[in-house]
Amino acid sequence: MTGERAKQILLLYRPGTTDAQDPEVADALAAVEADPGLRAWFEQHCEFQAAMRSRLRAIEVPPGLKETLLARGRIVPLPRAQPWWHGTPALAAAAAVVATVIGLWVFGGFSREGARRYADYQSRMVATILREYRMDVETPNLEEVRGYMRSKGSPDDFELTAGLQRMELAGGGFLRWRNHPVSMVCFRRQDKQMVYLFVMKKELVKDPPSPQPRISQVHDLQTATWSSGDKAYLLAAPPEPDFAQKYL
Amino acid sequence: MASQASNTGSSSGQDLSFAALVEAHYAALYRFAMSLTRSETDASDLVQQTFLTWAEKGHQLADPGKAKAWLFTTLHRQFLGARRRSQRFPEVALVESGEEFVSPAPDLVRRLDAAALMELLSRLDEQYRTAVALFYLEDCAYQEIAAILGVPLGTVKSRIARGVAQLKAMVARRQKEERGA
């Protein structure tokens, strides 16, 4: 092997790694042993490689990146479930017939059960703030909001996410969903848009959200839903790319 | 507030939980992303997008031993996608020019800070830069780098050799300029 060829190959060599196990590199290393001129080049090359590796690995990672990643790892997008009858027209027709028959048979019962679904609650709450809402108390003081909710028999010992704790509190309102109390806490974004947190007892729905926050779009708002303790939380805000990072 | 999304169930005993993967790879992925973008914000975004993709699709990975390569590959693809680049990189020969076998004094490299080295790295031809970044930032075997980049082993070796030679030439030029100044 010529010195030039050995140099070519040894450009691939990193001291302290398994590179020497590569047959080509092993041959080039053997050539170094036999050629003092090549050895001098190689020693300097090794120092260059080691310096490059150590300097590049010294690049600092932004503080908080890991925490952000871990926080976002808790977010699992809602699966986009596709109804099974979407497969073929024949199946779709059959499904329509079956659905009609079942619907006529158990209409009342099913509709009542459906009304206790979390999706219904989620949709109603979002529709409320899109249509019209009012804050019963306007205050930057969270204790005032808690006190008001307590006086209405609505959840008052709710937890705020780290993201919400950093936001400006605007106030709160008392709502009802199927005659059950719901606490609405409002936060003001820097662009003056509002972010809403709805809290109710999770036992009031048949299918409370999981402890893992789930992100989904409801009407025109982005929402996150999760359960913690005996409560179900629903957060809603105008869509943002870093929604989870900001508010959870 | 919530438990963490996980992708456990590894048959090889490797911990593929989301938290363990973040712990093991986030810094290296960030440095790799920095070598590609030279922007803290863009690099952070790329890393975040990579782990989000893992949270959604990582469970599809059949071989848990390939999680690291999967993460680097995904990040690289996202970078390429963002750059809207899809050209195929040509095969290149190993270094041939004697001029490129220069060996700059290592003390100059030690004097350069990481940002300056990143700047030099960014001036490499793009086709070499990615391979060289993985070569220096991670102890990836050549085969592993080839798998991440989705190119043949010989191509990866050529790119690394070419890239390292270019890098050495740039450092040597800088050294000459410093001496001349």
What CATH number corresponds to the domain at position B36?
1.10.1740
Polymer length in residues for chain B: 181
Query: Which residue from B18, B101, B103 is facing A73, i.e. has the nearest CB?
Result: B18
Mean per-residue pLDDT for B25-38?
90
Whether residue B107 lies inside any domain: the answer is: yes
Whether residue B10 lies inside any domain: the answer is: no
pLDDT (tens digit per residue) in B95-109: 444 445 566 666 677
Task: Give pLDDT, residue A187.
Answer: 93
Query: Which residue from A22, A68, A161 is facing B142, i.e. has the nearest CB?
Result: A22
What number is the ipTM of this complex? 0.73
Whether residue B64 lies inside any domain: the answer is: yes
Residue A133's φ and ψ, nearest 5 degrees, are -150, 165
The region that residue A128 occupies, defined by phi over 0 for left and psi between -120 and 50 for alpha, beta otherwise, is: alpha
Mean per-residue pLDDT for A74-86?
42
Same domain flag for B63 and B132: no
Our CA-based measurement puts residue A228 at a distance from the nearest CA of chain B, in whole angstroms, of 6
Whether residue B67 lies inside any domain: the answer is: yes
Task: Give pLDDT, residue B6.
Answer: 38
Task: Give pLDDT, residue A103.
Answer: 45
Task: Please give the residue of chain A at the shortest CA–CA distance from B166.
Answer: A11
Tell me, what DSSP letter sits at residue A205? Answer: S
Residue B61 reports pLDDT greater than 80 = no
pLDDT (tens digit per residue) in B2-27: 333 333 334 344 556 788 889 999 99
A contact test, residue of B18, B39, B103 with most A CBs within 10 A: B103
Chain A residue numbers touching B47 (CB-CB < 8 A):
65, 69
Residue whose structure tokens are 């003001």? A188
Task: Give pLDDT, residue A17.
Answer: 86
B58, B83, B108 — which closes off a domain? Answer: B83
Same domain flag for B66 and B103: no
CA A130 to chain centre: 23
The rounded distance, in Å, linking the Cα atoms of B5 and B13 is 18
Same domain flag for B102 and B161: yes
Q: How many domains does chain B have?
A: 2
Task: Give pLDDT, residue B16.
Answer: 64
Whether residue B150 lies inside any domain: the answer is: yes
Whether residue B7 lies inside any domain: the answer is: no
Chain B residue numbers touching A65 (CB-CB < 8 A):
26, 30, 44, 47
Q: Cβ contact (<8 Å) for A212 and B135?
A: no
Same domain flag for B106 and B150: yes
CATH of the domain at B131: 1.10.10.10
pLDDT (tens digit per residue) in A95-127: 555 544 444 444 444 344 445 788 888 888 888
pLDDT band, very low/low/confident/very high, at B30 (cuts 50, 70, 90): very high
Task: Give pLDDT, residue B120.
Answer: 85
Same domain flag for B102 and B175: yes
For chain A, give the percent of residues with pLDDT over 70.
Answer: 81
pLDDT band, very low/low/confident/very high, at A92 (cuts 50, 70, 90): low
Q: Cβ contact (<8 Å) for B1 and A213?
A: yes
Same domain flag for B138 and B73: no
- Residue A184 · residue A174 · CB < 8 Å: yes
Structural domain boundaries, residue B111: 98-180
Q: What is the pTM of this model?
A: 0.53
Cα–Cα distances in Å, from B122 out to A23, A76, A117?
Answer: 31, 35, 54
pLDDT band, very low/low/confident/very high, at A155 (cuts 50, 70, 90): very high
Q: Cβ contact (<8 Å) for B19 and A73?
A: yes
Same domain flag for B116 and B169: yes
Task: Give pLDDT, residue A145.
Answer: 93
For chain B, give the mean pLDDT.
Answer: 76
Whether residue B90 lies inside any domain: the answer is: no
Query: Which residue from B44, B121, B161 is facing A62, i.e. has the nearest CB?
Result: B44
* Lowest mean pLDDT segment, chosen from A21-35, A224-238, B31-45: B31-45
Across A13-27, A196-210, A233-247, the highest mean pLDDT is recorded for A196-210
Show which of residues 160-179 on chain A sit within 8 Å of chain B, judged by CB atoms.
161
Residue B27 contacts A, CB cutoff 8 Å: yes
- Residue B178 · residue B108 · CB < 8 Å: yes
pLDDT band, very low/low/confident/very high, at B59 (cuts 50, 70, 90): confident
Same domain flag for B76 and B104: no
Same domain flag for B144 and B170: yes
For the beta sheet containing A194-201, the strands, ordered from the edge strand earlier in sequence to the opposite edge, are: A137-138, A168-177, A180-188, A194-201, A231-237, A221-228, A214-218
Mean per-residue pLDDT for A176-193?
88
Residue A68 contacts B, CB cutoff 8 Å: yes
Whether residue B8 lies inside any domain: the answer is: no
Q: Cβ contact (<8 Å) for A11 and B98?
A: no
Show which of residues 79-108 on chain A sit within 8 Å of chain B, judged by CB atoms.
none
Same domain flag for B111 and B57: no
Same domain flag for B72 and B126: no
